A and B are shown apart, each in its own frame.
Chain A
Amino acid sequence: MKKIIRFGMITGGLILLGVVPHNVSAAPLKVVTTLSTFADLVKTIGGEDVVVSYVASPKFNPHFIEPKPSDVLKIKRADLFVHAGLDLELWRGPLLDAAGNREVMPGGSRELDLSRGISLLEVPDHPVSRAEGDIHIYGNPHYWLNPENAKVMAQAIAAKLSELDPQHTATYDERMRAWTRQLDQKVTEWENRMAPLRGRELVGYHNSWPYLMGFAGLTMRQYLEPKPGIPPTPKQVEFIEGYIRQNKISAIVQESFFPKDASEAVSRRTGAKVILLCQSVWEVPEATDYIAMVEYNVAQLIKGLKP
């Protein structure tokens, strides 16, 4: 019996330590985002009125992150949780379950799903199954790669921050408008620079780019992955080589976190260039913020597609 009492006293005491309430609503707002790109947008709009952290390192495939105990704790203490919605972050559900912060769970008052209000592409119009690979049942979730969508996201972030922190509404609004003006200028510049490339076709590794392709006026129909999420097979690589030659395609788009062996092999055999594009802010050293990330992608596309 003494052993049980001693056991109970030690563990009970330590559990009580955990019960000590922490100040959830202390300013500045503690914002946790799933992706680094969202963290950058939140910081741009929230400025010094928010403290932002993110879960998925930009160096990894955002579909398959292994959240850590420190991420669970961050979500547990978050005043606002910002995510991509849809089925991009397959790890989001278990992470939220582990954290147990009800206010940031789907439908909670401190949750922001950035896909709301976005016009999604590639929404399946028929019943889908895993026979089609890692299919996205709500539509392609890489929507933030189109700067036009980033404006919608920035507005949603400003509105949510204002809702949670009405005292700073004017500041959030001002920062959002200033950033949108800056982005608008860049959008015009990017469109002009990419205008000569409109209608050109590229091949991809994974189907991450329909929104960027739509913005740039480019097309991408074939991928090194035979189905989404299935690594390249020799048969698919052979098919892609033939497709590149037949359609005179000059570039293959590669994500930084997927192995480059297949792209480089195809490149060697066909002469098509490998273009490394980034999906997330801080994924490559040049992508220091959202605008720099798009600038990097635009520059890479122009460099890869020019004769």
Chain B
Amino acid sequence: MKTLFIFLIILVTLSLSAYAEEDSLKQEVEAMKATLGELRATVTSQSRTIEAQEKRIKELERTNAKVPQAPAPMLFATTPRSSASTTSLSALNPEIGVVGDVVASLSENSADTEGNDRLSLRELELVFGHPVDPYSRFDATISFSDSENPSLEEAYITHWGLPGGVKARLGRIRPKIGKASSLHRDSLDTVDDPLVVQKYFGTDGLSRTAAELSAFLPLPWEAVTHELTAGIMEGGVGESATLFGATRRRPSFYSHLKNFWDISDITNFELGATHLVGSKDADSGYEVNALGVDATLTHYVTPSNKLKIQGEAYFQHRDETDPTLGNNPLGFYTLVDYRLSPRFGVGGRFDYVELVDNPTTSPRDADTAYTGYVTLYQSEFTRWRAEYQHVEFAAGDNDERVFLQGTVAIGVHKHQLQ
């Protein structure tokens, strides 16, 4: 009995080890199958390449023998060349672009400020950019002008390697706030920024040193895309702006939610919301809250005729201590832009902005402006624009302005997607 028991134990042990061996063998077979599959794919791919090349050679020989070749324009070489041959060391150099923005203006305003009754090189932007490594890219824009000192408009690193597809930007950036403020002036539909952007964020929009995160929200529906951006930026605002105080020490915070509807191949609609929190002075309080709403409808009447209707509004809540200043100023603009043809576009904009520093005793509640413009697109890289603007200031006086603008770009000129 004892012997039988020992025999059974040995048998069971052997069986288990045999099973274990069988499992291991199965795994090896599976691994070999996978390797074989990969090898088969490689061999198939290479055979196809050889087959295609042989066929191509025969075809070319046949074509050359029979068919008169279409003579190519003298500008070009007729020798076929593989696209792989375009790779060279120069590919590692940064992409460099230059954007020039020349503006001539006439105004009834007698003040000798930038752009009044003069022809100026308003901006010359030097744009650099290149991937840094597989995880990041660096972009910089240095701005020169004939009336101001050179300035660093943008210099930031974009980092893609964060979990869940979150993208980060760090450095001097144009924060994602609304629509117009985050654009360079050469990308605007008009000569200048909307008044609400000029008065609240800066004459040339907002450009601050910041850390910004953005991510697409993984919501189940596909027709609408949601992108959330949040950031912290140095205090202060742009030139001549009043949303926050001038001190740079106390940071401001912002967030933007973009909701984008693909209505059809030719129509889309974007609705965005922006929230800003900042300080109006040097103390430790955060007295300013601003809520922004932006909406853009784009419709292609034909592939060459594009209609854009855009609006953007900002509502502020300020803890003002001065009783002569309002606590809830607001401002907005509406813009209609129509591309008549590949060469011409027309448009108009209405501006309304209640000034932060406008005393309640002022003759008018707000600055308002009516703008009309015509754009000639000479080519993809040169644009001419004539613009007329009628402005009614809160202080009571009016101004009539005429602008002529020429914008040219050379080199690599990439714009971020809007």
Q: Which residues of A contact B (CB under 8 A)?
A: 1, 3-4, 7-8, 10-12, 14-15, 17-22, 57, 59-61, 64, 66-70, 72-73, 76, 85-86, 93-95, 97-98, 100-102, 105, 113, 115-125, 130, 132-134, 137-140, 148, 151-152, 155, 158-159, 162-163, 166-167, 169-170, 173, 176, 198-199, 210, 213-214, 217-221, 229-231, 256-259
Once A15-B213, A69-B258 are accepted as A-B contacts, the answer to whether A100 and B82 lie under 8 Å apart by CB is no
19 additional contacts, CB 8 Å, given A166-B34, A214-B69, A256-B303? A7-B255, A11-B228, A18-B164, A19-B163, A72-B227, A73-B225, A76-B165, A101-B165, A113-B83, A116-B82, A117-B49, A119-B80, A148-B56, A162-B44, A169-B41, A199-B68, A221-B71, A257-B303, A257-B304
For A73, list chain B residues within 8 Å (CB). Answer: 216, 225
Q: Which residue of A lies closest to B224 (CB)?
A: A70
Question: Which residues of B in the span 215-241 have a Cβ within 8 Å of any Cβ on A?
Answer: 215-218, 222, 225, 227-228, 230
Minimum C-beta distance from A126 to chain B (A): 8
Q: Determine whether the beta carbon of B81 is less than 8 Å from that of A123.
A: yes
Q: Which residue of A lies closest to B37 (CB)?
A: A166
Q: Which residue of A lies closest to B261 (CB)?
A: A70
Question: Which residues of B in the span 126-158 have a Cβ within 8 Å of any Cβ on A?
Answer: 131, 134-135, 137, 158
Q: How far is the CA of A8 from the CA of B265 in the complex (A)?
A: 37
19 pairs from A and B in contact (CB 8 Å cutoff)? A14-B228, A17-B215, A18-B216, A19-B166, A69-B270, A72-B227, A98-B417, A102-B161, A116-B82, A118-B82, A119-B81, A122-B75, A151-B55, A159-B49, A169-B44, A214-B70, A217-B67, A229-B379, A258-B304
For A76, list chain B residues within 8 Å (CB). Answer: 165, 216
Minimum C-beta distance from B413 to chain A (A): 10
For B161, list chain A residues within 8 Å (CB). Answer: 102
For A97, list chain B residues within 8 Å (CB). Answer: 137, 158, 416
- Interface assignment of B315: CB less than 8 Å from any CB of chain A: no
For A137, list chain B residues within 8 Å (CB). Answer: 86
Q: Determine whether the beta carbon of B167 is less than 8 Å from that of A100.
A: yes
Q: How far is the CA of A287 from the CA of B241 in the complex (A)?
A: 54
Q: Which residue of A lies closest to B137 (CB)?
A: A97
Q: Determine whether the beta carbon of B44 is less than 8 Å from that of A94.
A: no
Once A18-B215, A59-B266, A166-B37 are accepted as A-B contacts, the answer to whether A259 and B341 lie under 8 Å apart by CB is yes
- Interface assignment of B384: CB less than 8 Å from any CB of chain A: no
For B167, list chain A residues within 8 Å (CB). Answer: 100
For A8, list chain B residues within 8 Å (CB). Answer: 253
Q: Which residue of B lies closest to A213 (CB)?
A: B70
- Interface assignment of B180: CB less than 8 Å from any CB of chain A: no
For B118, list chain A residues within 8 Å (CB). Answer: none
Q: Determine whether the beta carbon of B83 is less than 8 Å from that of A118.
A: yes
For B164, list chain A residues within 8 Å (CB). Answer: 18-22
- Interface assignment of B5: CB less than 8 Å from any CB of chain A: no
For B69, list chain A residues within 8 Å (CB). Answer: 214
For B77, list chain A residues within 8 Å (CB). Answer: 122-125
- Interface assignment of B388: CB less than 8 Å from any CB of chain A: no
Query: Total interface residues on B, using CB and 8 Å?
Result: 85
The 4 closest A-B pairs by CB, nearest first: A18-B215, A100-B160, A125-B77, A19-B164
Q: How far is the CA of A68 from the CA of B75 in the complex (A)?
A: 36
Q: Which residue of A lies closest to B219 (CB)?
A: A17
Minimum C-beta distance from B249 to chain A (A): 15
Once A70-B225, A98-B417, A148-B56 are accepted as A-B contacts, the answer to whether A155 and B72 lie under 8 Å apart by CB is no
Q: Determine whether the beta carbon of A94 is less than 8 Å from that of B416.
A: yes
Q: How far is the CA of A10 from the CA of B342 in the complex (A)?
A: 44
Minimum C-beta distance from B140 to chain A (A): 14
Q: Which residue of A lies closest to B284 (CB)?
A: A1
Once A100-B165, A134-B380, A167-B37 are accepted as A-B contacts, the answer to whether A7 and B56 lie under 8 Å apart by CB is no
For B255, list chain A residues within 8 Å (CB). Answer: 7, 10-11
Q: How far is the CA of A85 from the CA of B262 in the complex (A)?
A: 26
Q: Determine whether the beta carbon of A148 is less than 8 Å from that of B380.
A: no
Minimum C-beta distance from B9 to chain A (A): 43
Q: How far is the CA of A124 from the CA of B164 in the complex (A)?
A: 43
- Interface assignment of B381: CB less than 8 Å from any CB of chain A: yes
Q: How far is the CA of A258 from the CA of B76 in the complex (A)?
A: 24
- Interface assignment of B370: CB less than 8 Å from any CB of chain A: no
Q: How far is the CA of A12 from the CA of B231 in the complex (A)?
A: 10
For B247, list chain A residues within 8 Å (CB). Answer: none
Q: Determine whether the beta carbon of A123 is less than 8 Å from that of B79.
A: yes
Minimum C-beta distance from B161 to chain A (A): 7
Q: Determine whether the beta carbon of B380 is less than 8 Å from that of A60.
A: no
Q: Determine whether the beta carbon of B80 is less than 8 Å from that of A15.
A: no
Q: Which residue of B lies closest to A199 (CB)?
A: B68
For A210, list chain B residues within 8 Å (CB). Answer: 70, 72
Contact with A along B249-279 (1 / 0, CB 8 A): 0000101011010100110101000010100
Q: How far is the CA of A113 from the CA of B77 in the complex (A)?
A: 23
- Interface assignment of B190: CB less than 8 Å from any CB of chain A: no
Q: How far is the CA of A230 from the CA of B222 in the complex (A)?
A: 37
